Amino acid sequence: MKLAGLLAMVMMVFVVTTAFTSVNNVQGDDQSCKVTVYYSNGSTASNVKIQTEVSGGISCCGGREFTTDGDGVAILYWVKGCNLKKVYVKGKGYSVDYKDGGSYKLTLE
């Protein structure tokens, strides 16, 4: 029983520490897309953090964190073979279907 508890604790620490990794953790075989973030009034959302959530298989858990530039643009990266289906901006989740090589606009609610 103690071993099971220890194993659960180790797995929890692993998941928590790897759930959101830095944009600097980009690998050559990652997929990517460009997203421009806008406020509802049409102005670009500069220097705003975007967190991604991926799905699609056992190696497709967690996500990464990015920041838009001065024009509201961020390049999002995710592991090849995974799907980018959700992004979080300012605490709100947005369902998306971003594909490798695509260019998208996201208007905040």
pLDDT per residue rounded down to tens, the chain (109 residues): 555 554 445 444 344 334 444 444 455 679 999 999 999 999 999 999 999 999 988 888 878 999 999 999 999 999 999 999 999 999 999 999 999 999 999 999 9
* Two tokens, residue 37: 């973030």
pTM, whole model, 2 decimals? 0.73
Residue 78 CB neighbours (<10 A): 25
The domains found in the chain, sorted by start residue, are 20-107 (2.60.40.1120)
Select from 73, 60, 90, 75 the least CA-distant residue to 23: 75
